[in-house]
Amino acid sequence: MDACRAEAEYDDACAWLEAAMKGPMNPLAAKVWVFDEAFQHVLLVKHRWRGWVPLGERAEPGESLRDAAHRELLVDGDFR
């Protein structure tokens, strides 16, 4: 895919990203997809208005997305 096509397909994502970087950005969120070993089942939680979703939470300031995902799995998933 060439750059012009990508820009049109993604609604000028480069301009959006450039504008977003000029001010404070919303925190990123980490989603945790948990499967059994055979990939036959997935762990989902019931969100009050989004329905069944994977575990997920916003990353705290200074926290990596990997650390946020790990925290979410330990706290909300209660897997220790």
Sequence ranges of the domains in the chain: 3-75
Q: Which two tokens stand for residue 42?
A: 């997935």
What is the pTM for the complete model shown? Answer: 0.51
State the residue for tokens 């220790």.
80
Between CA 58 and CA 31 the distance in angstroms is 9
Answer whether residue 68 shows pLDDT above 60: yes
Q: What is the pLDDT of residues 21-59, one digit of tens each?
A: 676 666 677 788 888 899 999 989 888 988 999 888 788
